[in-house]
Amino acid sequence: MKLYRLTGGGIDGLVPEQADVPRPGPGQALVRMRAASLNYRDIMVIEGRYGRGKAKERLVPVSDGAGEVVETGSDVRRVKAGDRVVASFMQNWRDGPPRDDYNDSALGASIDGVLSEFVLFDAEGLVKIPDALSFEEAATLPCAGVTAWHALFHDAGLRLGQTVLTLGSGGVSVFALQLAHAAGMRVIATSSSDEKLERLRELGASELVNYRQRPDWERRVLELTDGRGVDHVVHVIRSGDLERSIQATRFGGAVHLVASAVESEAVPGLVTRRLINLRGIHVGSREMLEALARVCAQRNIRPVIDRVFPFEDAREAYRFLKSGSHFGKVVIDFP
């Protein structure tokens, strides 16, 4: 089988290799991968900027992938040969609250990921794909989709009639917009590009703010909400701007913190004074992935895929994501 490994040196160090197809042991399922999707996190991993330590040596990268079970080991009841499946981001986080050791089972960083024609998974880390979703669509769910789901629909306190602010048009934000819109929320969306804003409108955003033209975008959001502020912000800006997100939020509202940076000293005071519910989000559990997949199928929410690259062009897919010109998700197809 063909696979990619990281050999150091950034995207150029992503090298194709050949290996024998592994056989599943007890509790494992062998999956023939059909599609993978990239997240900004995959760029951080390849550039050695992710997590507490260095990634595993000669790592097989990429967390998010979907495929077909070809063989199962003994003691596997969860899936069978022929099932279409998607892998959960942290293989050991099934449900309930997070635990630190779940990070040790994060695909494509702590353990080998999915950029390989065949992958052995713990069968308990797999979720069946609803018929309504293609392999490519399902492959976009585990990181970006689940993060948006966790932020807005898992103990998030969202109520009908509330307003959600999404920032930019990357993977997490487009999912957050689609899900919030499907739930009947009013969505205000920002982007650096008027063209992307029009696409966000088509997906359900009712008000749009170009943050390039309005560097004080939080003021525009306040204008759009009669000075009150939004109820929820899904904060994904890795360069900072948390202070602006908080200013754009109503007193007692929630900021779901998906990306973090060194922020201004004003932030703690603002959080306290405005009684902001500042809530850390780190992807999510298998239970959240199951719920998201079910809701996408039930509500006909189609994950937005910008471009699909063939397996041989995986490095090009990384470069395209890094350019930031994408809208929604970037997918890699397997032969």
Ligand X SMILES: NC(=O)c1ccc[n+]([C@@H]2O[C@H](COP(=O)([O-])OP(=O)(O)OC[C@H]3O[C@@H](n4cnc5c(N)ncnc54)[C@H](OP(=O)(O)O)[C@@H]3O)[C@@H](O)[C@H]2O)c1
Contact indicator for 50, 107 with CB cutoff of 8 Å: no
Give residue number: closest CB to ligand X.
170
Q: Which two tokens stand for residue 8?
A: 């150091």
Among 144, 179, 185, 314, the residue binding ligand X under the rule CB under 6 A is 144
d(CA 81, CA 83): 6
Work out whether 237 is an interface residue with ligand X (CB under 6 A).
yes
Which residue in 157, 165, 171, 225 sits closest to 189, CA to CA? 165
Work out whether 259 is an interface residue with ligand X (CB under 6 A).
yes
Work out whether 172 is an interface residue with ligand X (CB under 6 A).
yes
Among 33, 208, 234, 236, the residue binding ligand X under the rule CB under 6 A is 236
Cα atoms in the Cβ-side hemisphere of radius 13 Å centred on 316:
9
Among 80, 238, 273, 299, the residue binding ligand X under the rule CB under 6 A is 238
Find the part of the chain contacting ligand X (CB under 6 A) among 68-76, 120-128, 187-195, 219-227: 187-195
Among 239, 272, 300, 323, the residue binding ligand X under the rule CB under 6 A is 239
Work out whether 145 is an interface residue with ligand X (CB under 6 A).
no
Find the part of the chain contacting ligand X (CB under 6 A) among 37-45, 67-75, 129-137, 264-272: 37-45
Work out whether 149 is an interface residue with ligand X (CB under 6 A).
no
Nearer to ligand X among residue 68 and residue 263 (C-beta): 263
Nearer to ligand X among residue 28 and residue 191 (C-beta): 191
Which residue in 142, 178, 152 sits closest to 39, CA to CA? 142
Work out whether 196 is an interface residue with ligand X (CB under 6 A).
yes
Find the part of the chain contacting ligand X (CB under 6 A) among 17-25, 128-136, 161-169, 263-271: 161-169
Find the part of the chain contacting ligand X (CB under 6 A) among 6-14, 64-72, 184-192, 268-276: 184-192
Task: Give, as ranges, the residues between 271 and 300 that touch ligand X (CB under 6 A).
Answer: 281-283
Among 91, 166, 190, 245, the residue binding ligand X under the rule CB under 6 A is 190
Work out whether 176 is an interface residue with ligand X (CB under 6 A).
no
Nearer to ligand X among residue 196 and residue 220 (C-beta): 196
d(CA 36, CA 130): 17
Work out whether 102 is an interface residue with ligand X (CB under 6 A).
no
Work out whether 215 is an interface residue with ligand X (CB under 6 A).
no
The SS3 of residue 217 is helix
Work out whether 61 is an interface residue with ligand X (CB under 6 A).
no
- The residue ranges that bind ligand X (CB under 6 A) are 39-41, 143-144, 147, 167-173, 190-193, 196, 211, 236-239, 241, 258-259, 281-283, 324
